[in-house]
Each structure stands twice: as structure tokens, then as C-alpha cells.
A and B are shown apart, each in its own frame.
Chain A
């Protein structure tokens, strides 16, 4: 399948400042970009740092920029992306670099917390099960956005995050949208206040980078549009406060 037998791979070394190091990696059939990085670390330079876990697109930890685009490296075949037998691999954008291809995901997940991305129920074990009809509007909207695995591909691809470091970003907002549509959740008034405004959903330019690149084929842009409408409606009714409880 591979036309030539080696691949020239430029890999980012260092932190925010650093340099590219080029490696020659043998090509194989059905080789993924993660296979390439693993080959470099195991056979060529054991000091290379990178992150992965499941290797099958479940955990989301292997996301990196490959030839300028954020991707899951374990689910990206070299044949799909190696233009002229070259690969350039850098850490995800919009996040601090710890070392080489490893980013610090703390700001990303801190923003989930800021967006009140935690389920807050009002029932106890003494209550009966909540009944949520699968065909109800809310359930369907939540379903459409729920499969996020927190890989950060969307966050790394969003220009608004680059321009405004306070912006909560597509994944945290998408998460808030699923909870807004969870009829059991009791925190939605505060949540809507937390995700609205200049650092929240209203900063989104509807570029759709997030939607185009999300490996789970989610549409954070649509979730964000839903939040914008809900928050604007609440603001018009005077129900959108800055006050965040607890």
C-alpha cells in the first residue's frame, strides 16, 4: 500500500518554546499516527513524551496536531494524512505544553467546572426513578450531544479560544447544553448564567471548526446555538443572573 518505505516525521520537542526534531520512520500497512509516535519513542528516542491509553478511540487521550489539524492519533491512518510522505506532529493548540506532545489539560477541564458541567440532581435514593421519555425533545437534544469523551480536539481547533483565553470553549459548553436538557437537573438557572456572555456561548462565532473536527461527530456549534437562545430568552425575562449559587 505504501508507495515509499519511510516517512519523514517532524516532531515537536520542548515546551512552549522548543524545536522540531525529524525522524525517519518505516512505513507499514494500516499504520496509524499513534503507531508512528510509538515507534519513535520505543525505537529511536526514548525521551519523547506523548500520551495515549486505549488505542481504539475510546479515551480521547491521544489527541495531537497532525499536519496542523487536531486529531485522535490512534484513529488516524498515516495514509490519510501523510502529504508527500511527511508528517508534522505537534501538541494540541490552546493548551500549555508540559513536554513534547503532552499538553496540560487542566484549563480545559477547569472550564467544564466553570460551566457547571456537573450533574446536580434533586432526588435521593428514597425517590422513585425519574421517568424521561426517550422520544421527548429534551432527551433527544441531550442524546445528540452526550457522547463527548473530552479529548480536547474541538478546544484546540477553536480560534475564539485562542483570541479569548477566558472563553469556555466548545466542549464545556456542549456539556452544559446536555445538562440544560436533562430534566432531572436542578442547577440550570445558575448554569445558564455561568455559560452566558462574553466568555461563554455568546462569544462563539459559529466558525464550526469544532463541529468539523470532533472525532465523535458531535456538533458543539449547535449546542452552543441552543445555549445562546436559552440565555438570551432568560436575559430578556430578567432571569439571567450573575449570582452563582454554591
Chain B
């Protein structure tokens, strides 16, 4: 399976990256959920939430890791789904998936940035 697609080693490294990012995501999702439940149950307003996130390197760092894990994990999974469902393989698929990874990272980091400054 090459026809303009990734090398076998690259394919396996993608798989490995997806497993590794899944581990990171599992932890991040739990922290994220606990945070949401805390914020909702304590009736925190948007201003109060922003008061905690602004200038906080800890929150910015945590969500930056979360975004990075999503940007790695989701596109690799989508790559399999697209190839299995629509028989889409090769370089064009890899480029499309790369664009999606960049878009996810861009949106995610922009959101992290905007609650930080």
C-alpha cells in the first residue's frame, strides 16, 4: 500500500500517535468534565470563569494539551473512517486529514488563547 500514500512506518507511527493521544484524552476529558460540573453546580458566571482562566498558565497549559491531543487523535480516526466508508486512500486523503488537524488545532488554540488573555 504505497500509491502516493504514507510509508508503512509512517502508518504505524500514526496508529501509535492515536493510541498515545487517546491516553492523554482520557485524562483530559475527566478533568474537563469535573471542571464543567463544578462550574455549573456552583453557578459560576462567565465573568467568574474568565476571572479564573485569565492569566492562568495552569489552565492554559491544560487546555493546550487537550487541544493538541484532539488535533492528533480525531483526524487519524477520521482517516480510517473515510478510507473504510468511502474507499478513499492515498495522498489526497492524507492531505485532507492534515488540513483537518491544522483546523482543529487552530480553532482550539484560538479558544485557549482567548480565555487566557
Contacts and interface: CB of A to CB of B under 8 A. Distances in A.
Decide whether A and B assemble into one complex: yes
Given A197-B1, A242-B2, A242-B7, A164 B83 contact: yes
B45 interface: no
* Chain B contact surface mostly: helix
Q: Which of B8, B13, B89 has the most CB of A within 10 A?
A: B8
Contacts of A200: 8
Given A199-B1, A235-B13, A163 B84 contact: yes
B8 A240 contact: yes
A48 interface: no
A243 B9 CA distance: 11
Contacts of A242: 2, 7-9
B95 interface: no
A231 B8 CA distance: 10
B11 A202 contact: yes
A241 interface: yes
Given A160-B84, A163-B85, A164-B84, A228 B8 contact: no
B81 to A, nearest CB: 10
B12 A196 contact: yes
A125 to B, nearest CB: 35
Contacts of B8: 193, 196-197, 200, 240-242
A197 B80 contact: no
B11 to A, nearest CB: 4
Contacts of B12: 196-197, 202, 231-232, 234-235, 240
B1 A235 contact: no
B113 interface: no
Contact of A197 (B11, B19, B84, B85): B11
A175 B13 CA distance: 23
B11 A232 contact: no
Contacts of B13: 235-236
A166 interface: yes
A164 B82 CA distance: 11
A215 B7 CA distance: 36
A202 B89 CA distance: 15
A199 B1 CA distance: 7
Interface residues of A, number: 22
A203 interface: yes
Nearest to B81: A163
B16 A235 contact: yes
Contacts of B1: 166, 197-199
Contacts of B7: 242
B16 A198 contact: no
A193 B11 CA distance: 11
Contacts of A197: 1, 8, 11-12, 15
Contact of A236 (B2, B16, B84, B89): B16
Interface in B71-104: 80, 83-85, 89
Contacts of B11: 196-198, 202
Given A160-B84, A240-B12, 12 more contacts: A164-B83, A166-B1, A193-B8, A197-B12, A203-B80, A232-B16, A234-B12, A236-B13, A240-B8, A240-B9, A242-B7, A242-B9
Interface of B: 1-2, 5-9, 11-13, 15-16, 19, 80, 83-85, 89
15 contacts: A160-B84, A163-B84, A164-B84, A193-B8, A196-B8, A197-B1, A198-B89, A202-B11, A203-B80, A231-B12, A232-B15, A232-B16, A234-B12, A235-B9, A235-B16
